[in-house]
Structure 1
Amino acid sequence: MMHNENNSSSARRINVLTLDGGGIRGLSSLLILKDLMCYVNEYVQALEEQQQQQQQQQASDRNNGTAEPSEEAPRDIQPHDIFHLVAGTSTGGLIAIMLGKLGMTVDECIAAYEQLASDIFGKKHLRARLTGGLALARYSASGMADRIRALLQTKELSENLGMHSPSHEDKIACAVICREHQNPSRYSEFLPDAVCICSLQCPTGFDCSVCEAARATSAAPTFFPVQRIGDRYFSDGGMEFNNPSYEIWCHYSQCISVAETRRRSAATEIEDCPGHPGGLDFSEVRFVNLGTGDVPPPDRQSTSNKFAILIPAPIRMIVSLKNKLKKIAVSAQGTANVMRGLATVAGGRFSIQYDRFSADNGVCFIKMDKYRKIPELKVLTTQYLRTPTTQRRLRRLAASIAADYLARQRDRQARPTSDLLSVPQHNANAGRPKVPHSASSSRNAASTDTERSLGNSGAESIVSNTPSRQPSTEVTTPASRSTPGSSPPGTFLDGTDTLHDRNISEG
C-alpha cells in the first residue's frame, strides 16, 4: 500500500463495502468479511500497543523511570466502526440490511444467513412443485418477507421500520440495488438504470419499508415474484448490476446544489458533507467489494465433455445459453474492470481505491438456491482465503483500514469542544464513523504518525509478534505499475486496484 507522507488524508477517506448478488453464495462474502475483520482487529491492536508503549516510555522519562501500565481491554472492531456505507445487490442487499439497518455483527449475519437459506430455499412454492419448476416463481414471496420481519423482531425493531426512519439510528448507512419495470406491470421490460434504495436522504431516492427494500433487491427472476411498492414494480438487479460498486459510485458521486443538500440535512440531521448526496463525500473513497464467486481462470476450468457432440444441437444451444446467463449473473469481473478504469473519468477530483475479493475456485458453480451445498461452499471459500495471494492482499487492505481508523479516532480527540457540541445528539452517538468537515493539521499529523508506525518493512511485519489465526506467509508484494492509455495525466492504477496521484511516493 502506498501513502502520501507529505499530505496524508486517511482520516478523511470514507470506506464503502459493496456486496455482490448470488443466492446462498452470499455466505462466501460473509466468510471473507469475517477474515478481513480479524486482520483489521490484529492490526489495530498491534498499532495501539505500539502507541501505548511509546506513551509509557515518554511518561517514564518524565517520571524518572516510573510509569503505570495501561489496562485497557483490546478493542473489538466491527464493520460499523470502519465502514461509512454498505451496499448490495440481491443477497448482498439482504446482508447490507443486516449489517446496516439491523446492526448485526458478522457472526450474527452468518448464523442468520444459514438459517435464512434453509428456511427460504428448503421449500419450493406449490405452483413450482406442481409444474416441475416451470412456474414464474419457484419460492414464496411471503416466506422471504416473514423471515425479514422475524430478523427485525430479534433486534426489537418494528416490522414496518422504514429505510428512512428518524427514530432509528443505523449502525451503517445502507443501500440496496434493484431494477424497476418499465410500465406499471410485473411483466414489462426493465428500465435501463438501476434503482438505489438507501437509508440516506438522496435526491433520486425514495422511501419504503425495510421489508419492501429487502424483497425488491432479492426478487430474482424465476426465483421470487416481482415486488410492488406503491404503483411501481421491482426485481433484483443481479442480471445487470450484480456487482453494485459502479452504481453506488454513480449514485453518491453526483454533486447537487449546496442549498438543496443543506435543506435536506436540516431535515434529517445529516451534516457531514454539505453538497454531496446523503452527506457522503466520495472525493476520497475506498471500495471494498466482496463477490460470490468469480469464474476460474481458463487453466483451472474443467475441460468440456468429449461426448457433448452426441447431444442434439437444440439442447446444446439451451445449455450454452443457460451457462452464459449464469456467467452474466455470477461474474462481476466486468464491473470490477470498470471500477479499475475510473481513472479515465476521475482526473484530479477524486481519489479512488478499489479492492475486490471473490473466490475463484469453483464457488460460482454452486447454484443460487442449493442450500444443501453450504458445507461445500464453506470449504471452497476457506481454501481461497488460505492462498498466499489472498492473505497478502487482505493483510495489506486491513493495515490501511486500521491506519485510517486510528487516524479518525485521533482526529475526533483533537477536534475542538465547540465542534463536538455543534453536532446534534442524534449524530453525536452515531455508531458509524463520521467524516470530518475539512482537513486539519491535527488530522494530517495523526494520520501520518499512524501510517509511519507501519514502517517500511511492509504491513505484514506489524502483526509478526501477535497471535494469528493462520501462519504468516511471506510473499513479495508486486511492484506498482501504470496502465498506458487508461489513465489521465497525473493518475495511475497499480496492481492493487488503487488509483493514485503520480506524485505519491512509495511509503
Structure 2
Amino acid sequence: DGGGVRGVSQLVMLKEILQRLDYKTEQRTRPCDIFDMIGGSGMGGVLALFLGRLSLSIDDALREYAAFVSIAFDNKRIPLSVGTNKFSTKNFKQGIRDVIAKYSPGNPGLACDMHCKTFVCAMSKANFTAKIPRLFRTYPAPKFQLPDCEIWEAARATSASPVLFDDIEITGNSVSDTYIGSDMGCNNPINVLLDECNLVYPGRHVACVLSLGTGPEMLNIPNTILSTHATLNNTLQKMSTDCEQTAELISRRFREIPRVYFRLNATQGMEVIDEAAWNKIPDIVSHTEQYVR
C-alpha cells in the first residue's frame, strides 16, 4: 500500500518474515529471491522498486528508505497556496537517483530481465476520473505496455499526489503523457497484482499472496465553521486512500482457499502518524515491532 513515511512499517513486517524464513533455511534471503512479483502504489511503489528492481536486502531497504524520505519530505513549500503541492520534487528526484546510482549504476532504466517482476501503479492525469491504473513494469507484458522509462521516473509517477508531489510528464516512443499517483482509488494495489499475475502467468496456481499495509488513517470531525472546508478535504482524501475495504474484499475472495492470502497491517499507534512525518520513524518501528511479536 501507499502511505508515505509509514512504509517503514511494511519493511519492519517483511523483515520479521524473512528472519523467520532465514532461521529455518539458514540463509540470508532478499525479498526478490522469494517473490515472483512485487507491486506497489504511491511510496509503496518506491519500496517495490527498492526491493524488486534494485534487489535491495531488507536491511539495506530500511536504511536507504529512511534516508530517502528524510530528504524527500524535508522542506515544505511555504506558503502553501491552493493547488500547490506540499513538497518540492527536486529533493525527491535527487534522493531517488542517488539510491539508483548506488545499486544499479550501469542500468538506470526500469526494464530489467530478472526473476522478480516489479511494477508500480500510476494514473494518466488526462484520464484520472476513470481510476484505471497505468503500470510501469520492469518486464514485458502481452498488453497494456507503457513505453520504457528510467527508474526514477517510475518512482515519481507513482508517488505524485494532489497534496504531496507534483505530477510528472514522461515521454516514450515520441509520445508524452502526464502521470499522477494512484493513491486515490488504488492505494491498495492487491487487485492489480492479482490481475497482473493472471496476465503474466496464465494458468499458474498462486502459492502465496502477501499484502502489507501502512496502518489506519484517522478521520477528523470538523468542530468549527472555519476549519470545516480544509478538514472536509482532508477527510475525503483519507477516505479515498482507505485500503482496508479492498483488503476485506480480497480476504473474502480467498476465504475458501486457506493459507494463501495474508494481510499484515500494524494498527495501534499508527493512526496518529502523518505520512510525511519522517522524524517519527522510530515510533513507526516501535509500533510495528509490537504488532509482529
Task: Using structure 1 for the length normalisation, give the TM-score.
Answer: 0.52
Check whether the contact 1:88–1:177 (CA below 8 A) recurs between aligned residues. yes
- Picking from 108, 111, 136, the partner of 1:197 is 136
Q: CA deviation at 1:313?
A: 3.7
- C-alpha distance after superposition, 1:284-318 (max 9, x if no partner): 2421011100358xxxx9xx99xx7xx43453464
* 1:341 paired to 2:252: yes
d(CA) in 2 for partners of 1:351, 1:39: 21
Aligned to 2:52: 100
**Higher deviation after alignment, 314-323 or 148-157:** 314-323
Aligned to 1:172: 116
* 1:286 paired to 2:226: no
d(CA) in 2 for partners of 1:229, 1:373: 33
SS at match of 1:182: helix
* 1:119 paired to 2:71: yes
- C-alpha distance after superposition, 1:383-407 (max 9, x if no partner): 2122xxxxxxxxxxxxxxxxxxxxx
* 1:146 paired to 2:94: yes
Consecutive unaligned residues in structure 2, runs of 5 or more = none
d(CA) in 1 for partners of 2:217, 2:204: 30
* 1:328 paired to 2:254: no
Q: CA deviation at 1:140?
A: 2.0
Q: CA deviation at 1:113?
A: 0.7
One-letter code of the match for 1:366? Answer: I
- C-alpha distance after superposition, 1:338-384 (max 9, x if no partner): 2123359xx9xx99921000111131331111111112212211221
Aligned to 1:220: 161
Structure 1's consecutive aligned runs of 4 or more residues displaced over 6 angstroms after TM superposition are none
Aligned to 1:478: none
Task: Using structure 2 for the length normalisation, give the TM-score.
Answer: 0.88
d(CA) in 2 for partners of 1:380, 1:319: 26
- C-alpha distance after superposition, 1:189-230 (max 9, x if no partner): 443211111111111122221111111011121211101112
CA 1:352–1:236 in structure 2 vs 1: closer, same or farther (change >3 Å)? farther
d(CA) in 2 for partners of 1:146, 1:177: 21
CA 1:171–1:250 in structure 2 vs 1: closer, same or farther (change >3 Å)? closer
Consecutive unaligned residues in structure 1, runs of 5 or more = 1-19, 45-73, 184-188, 255-276, 387-507
- C-alpha distance after superposition, 1:125-144 (max 9, x if no partner): xxx21x24645222222321
Larger Rg: 1
d(CA) in 1 for partners of 2:254, 2:285: 35
d(CA) in 1 for partners of 2:268, 2:182: 24
d(CA) in 2 for partners of 1:317, 1:148: 34
- Picking from 280, 286, 292, the partner of 1:379 is 286
Aligned to 1:110: 62
SS at match of 1:284: coil
SS at match of 2:274: coil
SS at match of 2:163: coil
d(CA) in 1 for partners of 2:155, 2:169: 12
* 1:34 paired to 2:34: no
d(CA) in 1 for partners of 2:227, 2:31: 46
- Picking from 342, 354, 361, the partner of 2:268 is 361
SS at match of 1:193: coil
Counting only pairs closer than 5 Å after superposition, residues 82-481 of structure 1 correspond to structure 2 as: 82-124=34-76, 128-129=77-78, 131-132=79-80, 134=82, 136-158=84-106, 161-165=108-112, 169-170=113-114, 172-182=116-126, 189-202=128-141, 203-206=143-146, 207-230=148-171, 231-254=176-199, 277=200, 279=201, 282-294=204-216, 311-313=223-225, 315-316=227-228, 318-329=230-241, 331-342=242-253, 353-386=260-293
Tell me the C-alpha RMSD between the 2 structures.
Answer: 2.7
SS at match of 1:288: strand
d(CA) in 2 for partners of 1:101, 1:359: 26
Q: CA deviation at 1:324?
A: 4.2
Identity %: 24
d(CA) in 2 for partners of 1:201, 1:112: 28
One-letter code of the match for 2:19? Answer: C
Q: CA deviation at 1:96?
A: 0.8
SS at match of 1:114: helix
- C-alpha distance after superposition, 1:211-255 (max 9, x if no partner): 11111011121211101112211111112111111112123324x
- C-alpha distance after superposition, 1:407-459 (max 9, x if no partner): xxxxxxxxxxxxxxxxxxxxxxxxxxxxxxxxxxxxxxxxxxxxxxxxxxxxx
SS at match of 1:253: helix
SS at match of 2:178: strand
- C-alpha distance after superposition, 1:5-45 (max 9, x if no partner): xxxxxxxxxxxxxxx1000000010000001111111233x
